[in-house]
Structure 1
């Protein structure tokens, strides 16, 4: 039953998304410092980054479907506490093995983000679903980009462990706040976990709308990951030679772009979700022309970052709006399946940007990012041509029964 979401509830849920996703990305700005403190060799540092991503992917498959089985308010609370536990283990880890375990646990339960989106979709009125999803998911981008600045500053002053200690405390505080703030009827569908998992598998194989939006998300976040996983490489060398704090400040440009896209949810509510996605993907592709210009001035780069993050957030919100509207009774499953594409795309972007930069330089990374965004634009265009643009594309139409009596049309 749609009971609505108040402004204060949207704010709390946006903070939940920001804090949870931060536990995955906070290690990136302080990676070298963490490796030194844990006694890890440089070639082993990738394990610290991969741990959270692997845990997150597992959570998307195994934990997010629980949102269609148990009460979502209770599930959000428990997941936040367990995310805090993983962050606390990472903060206190005496060696690399324990740190990897803590980061994996934090990533596993950071999928509370998707349960939160499903909660919002379930309790929102149809006319406000896009607006509410847009407001809450803005917290995801705030977490991904804002934690770079926070981790950079804390890493340079207090130490890398303070980042995860702070995130652990924040997650516990949010768990208590969610328990008090959210309505108790956040969705308790009467289905079994095994049924939801089977349904999630069928969705990934047969649902045309999910496949279309999932593939777009795959290339969308591959482009996003190409920028944010590789940006520190050119900025940390000649002619700029920036430190982690200075590089983290570029996250503010990304935040400006992402927050600027917060109104796209309202446009999606007005029936413009597909047009928003197409225009935003074209804008995303064009933004790479600015991002590639880092030689003489950084203003073009900053403008490109703003445009890129605006476009990514706009497409992301419109896709989740369409999918949750098409599957209102299994929002957790469809969001989890969609976000699995996101996770794989982000990993692809992170891998290919470092490879391209080490081989041909920053311009090659930008060509890779632009190729990903253009691929997403092509997929959007194919969806328009083939008619995968409505809720009806989510499942094939049922055949109408034949009438035995054509005179009376009695069936």
Structure 2
């Protein structure tokens, strides 16, 4: 009985009686929902080859589906996520779920590639809810557990990203790519119900209008050098992530592998090793200066692309590279978010919005560049792009050491 009660009581007491308290149940609900919702952004990646065949379009054209999904996610975060600082967060999520369902069903029944691309943009825009849940978890957590809590939620997010490809590859191989979008819609309906029943409401702390809310993000970006640095690092590192995962399915279709979308999806299982390290990264960020953590994680991304370059015909090499890449990207992301979300408690959604919009713009650019370099230079071109982007991220990080290590 004591263990059962512990599951429902706060992880740590808070002094603000109007502040909802974070219980283990609440944390697990947020973690699982984050993983399920973010998966919507990545179901399409193992399916791009099949989609290109269905509509008889080039792989370059099919790559727009992945790019527009990420651009939609950035747009949703930019224009919708800041609203969580001025309106009830749970209510905002409940309304947004209706648009997720409509977009997924539209994608599943898309009659041509252009409709699918448009639906994909709206899937991305409406699936921005994880970027409300992460600041909510940070808001409910106590300062000395914030890194750990963010790390757990981000573990759920990364597992959702990676296993989405595994599920999508299996469904695409056996039931067709359309089935995946319709199954995703059913999963979102179930998630909607659980969040409605179990998620606490968080009252807003910002009283200004929408225009001043949006302008305040510009001020935050101007006045917070740590935010600018985190956004820079995040954008370039996530560009490396998008470049690899978007083109992996094309590589595995090449004669040296000659495998289907299911094999591409199985690489998601390999990447779970990175997700399991996310909670550890959060704990390390609580106890160590994030600068040193981030130096090591960006270096892991660079090493991953060196491995990829020499693994154009080796599944073992690709597996090793995936583990390095996902641990590096996720570790950098956790370190960045822990830093950003500690800056201004009353503006966590706006801080997170600035960071995550930049992050996903970087991912979209990486996807775009990789698609074009694949068309022109195949796998070596993709690896060169990844190396260039990751080296820029490390150089910027090292040059801004004083900013990164500044207190406050």
Q: Does 1:360 align with 2:377?
A: yes
Between Structure 1 and Structure 2, the one with more helix by share is 2
Instruction: Let me know the Cα RMSD of the aligned residues.
Output: 2.2
Q: Does 1:76 align with 2:90?
A: no
Q: Does 1:91 align with 2:108?
A: yes
Q: Distance in 1 between matches of 2:395 and 2:373?
A: 23
Aligned to 1:214: 231
Q: Secondary structure at the match of 2:332?
A: helix
Aligned to 1:403: none
Q: Does 1:134 align with 2:151?
A: yes
Q: Cα–Cα, structure 1 residues 97 and 368, in superposed 2: closer, same or farther, change >3 Å?
A: closer
Aligned to 1:307: 324
Q: Cα–Cα, structure 1 residues 354 and 333, in superposed 2: closer, same or farther, change >3 Å?
A: same
Aligned to 2:387: 370
Once the two structures are superposed, the pairs formed by residues 43-62 of structure 1 within 5 Å of their partners are: 44-62=61-79
Q: Distance in 1 between matches of 2:56 and 2:327?
A: 37
Mark the runs of 5 or more structure 1 residues left unpaired by the alignment.
Answer: 393-411
The structural deviation recorded for 1:116 is 0.9
CA contact under 8 A between 1:229 and 1:349: conserved in structure 2? Answer: no
How many residues end up aligned between the 2 structures?
Answer: 390
Mark the runs of 5 or more structure 2 residues left unpaired by the alignment.
Answer: 1-15
The structural deviation recorded for 1:229 is 1.6
Q: Cα–Cα, structure 1 residues 81 and 127, in superposed 2: closer, same or farther, change >3 Å?
A: farther
Deviation string for 1:169-214 (max 9, x for gaps)? 2112112211221222364543332221010122233421111111
The structural deviation recorded for 1:51 is 3.5
Q: Secondary structure at the match of 1:315?
A: helix
Q: Distance in 1 between matches of 2:301 and 2:203?
A: 35
Q: List structure 1 runs of 4+ shifted beyond 6 angstroms.
A: none
Once the two structures are superposed, the pairs formed by residues 344-359 of structure 1 within 5 Å of their partners are: 344-359=361-376
TM-score by length of 1: 0.88
Q: Distance in 1 between matches of 2:66 and 2:317?
A: 29
Aligned to 2:138: 121
Q: Cα–Cα, structure 1 residues 377 and 44, in superposed 2: closer, same or farther, change >3 Å?
A: closer
TM-score by length of 2: 0.88
Q: Secondary structure at the match of 2:345?
A: coil
Q: Cα–Cα, structure 1 residues 365 and 92, in superposed 2: closer, same or farther, change >3 Å?
A: closer
Aligned to 2:124: 107
Segment of structure 1 superposing worse, 293-302 or 102-111: 293-302
Once the two structures are superposed, the pairs formed by residues 6-405 of structure 1 within 5 Å of their partners are: 6-35=23-52, 37=54, 39=55, 41-42=57-58, 44-185=61-202, 187-294=204-311, 297-384=314-401, 386-390=402-406, 392=408
The structural deviation recorded for 1:260 is 2.2
Aligned to 2:3: none
